[in-house]
Amino acid sequence: MPVRFATLRRFRFNMPQRIAAVLLLLFVAQAGWLTSHQTLTEKDYQYARCGREMWERPSPLAGYFTSCGNIHDGVLAYRVAGLPLTLNIALERFADNFRKPEDKVIQTLDASASTWELRHQLTHVLLLLRLPFILAGVVLGGALWWVTRRLFGNFGGYTALALYCFSPAILRVSVAPNPEILTAVGFFGGLYTCIGVAHAMQGPRNKWRPRIVLLTVSFAVVAASHIAALPVLVALGFVMMLWIAEGRRSQVLPVLLTATIGAFVLLFACYGFSADAFSYLFRSDAAHLGFSLDPARHFFWTLSNAGMTVSAGAALLLYLGLRKTLYFGNTAPLLVTLLLLTLITVGVPGTPLLWALPFLLTFVGGVFADAYETPRGRLALASGGAVVLLQAVFCLLSLPGLL
C-alpha cells in the first residue's frame, strides 16, 4: 500500500500542520536574523568554556566543577551551550585523520591547556552556541500549538502560535545562552503532562508509564534550568491533578514523588555524578522566590508587546463576560499565568514572566477560540487576526537592521 505524504503512521502533516510549520519557520527566520546581528559576548565565552569543560574534562582548577566555579543553578544551560562545540571539536578531530598534516584543523595541545584554547579553531561559534536555544524555542512553540489545537481547535492554535512566533521576549531568550527558554519548555510541558497523567489515571495502568517518564524528564529540565521553578511546578501540578483525577486522588502524591525523585537523579547526572558539585545546589539561595508586579508592568507597557497586551486584555474581558469560556481548559492557564506573572527569583537572576507567556497564550487562544464560535464569530475572527497582525508588525519593527 503506498504511503501518503500527509500521513505517516499516526502523524499527520495536513494543512493545519503546514500552517503551524510556516509560522515556526518564520520564528526561525527571525531568530536567524537576530543571530546575524549579534557578536560574541563575555557571557557567550563563559557558557561555551564551562559548558565544554563539563563534556570534555573537569576544570584544571582543583576543587571546582568548572573554571566558572561550582555552578549552583542553570547547569543544563551550560551543557546545552557547550554540546555543539564539543561535537564540532570531535568531528574535526575525526576529519583530521583523513587530512594532510599541514591541513589539520585541530592542533595538538599541551595536556594542561584549557579546552577553551581551541576556540579560535572552531567555525561559526556564535551560531553553534545559539542553535540549541533556538531549537528549544521551536520545541516550545510546537508544544504550545499541540496543546492549544488539541484543546481549542485549529483557529485557537493558530492564534496562540502566531502570537508566540512574533513575541520579541521569546525571540530574545531563544538567541542567547540562558536557562529561561529551557525552563519555559520544561514548565509548560511538565504542567500539561501532569494534566495528561491525571486523565490517564482514569484508564489502565500501562498507559500511565509513558506519561510518568515524560513527566520525570520535564521535571528534570526545570530542575536543571532553574531549581526555584521546580517546587512551583510540583505544587501547581499537584493542584491540577487533584482537580482532575477523581477517584484516583490517592495516587497523585506517589506519582509526583516518583517523578521528582527521578528528576533529581537526572539532575545529579547533569553534574557528572559529582557529589561535591551537586551539593552546592543545596548550599545556595537559588531557590528563593519573591513577588513583584514590576516585570509584568514593564512587559505589558512595552510597545513591541502591543499585540500581546491587547490580546491579553481582550481575552480577560471575554473570559469574564462569556459564560461558555468558564471551564478548566481556560481557567487552568489563567491561574498559572497570574501566579507566574507576580513571581521573581531573589536568589539568582531569572525571569518567571517568560515561563508564564506560553500559559498566557494558551489562555488567549482558548478564549478567542470560544469567541470565534459565537454568532459574531466572523467579527471575532477578524479582530483576532488584526491583533496578531499588530503584534507581528511591532515585532518585525523591533528587529535590528530591518529598516
The answer on pLDDT for 355 being more than 50 is: yes
pLDDT at 281: 85
The answer on pLDDT for 111 being more than 50 is: no
Distance (Å, whole) CA 383 – CA 388: 9
Decide which of 123 and 324 is more confident.
324
Terminal CA-to-CA distance of the chain, rounded, Å? 52
The answer on pLDDT for 113 being more than 70 is: no
The answer on pLDDT for 62 being more than 80 is: no
pLDDT band, very low/low/confident/very high, at 27 (cuts 50, 70, 90): very high
Please, which contacts does 92-98 make with residues 24 or more away whose CB atoms are closer than 8 Å?
A: 92/121, 92/122
The answer on pLDDT for 116 being more than 70 is: no
Domain positions in the chain: 21-37+136-397, 42-128
pLDDT band, very low/low/confident/very high, at 155 (cuts 50, 70, 90): very high
pLDDT band, very low/low/confident/very high, at 7 (cuts 50, 70, 90): very low
- The average confidence (pLDDT) of the chain is 88
Which of these, 97, 83, 86, 75, lies nearest to 135 by C-alpha position? 83
Which of these, 403, 394, 334, lies nearest to 169 by C-alpha position? 394
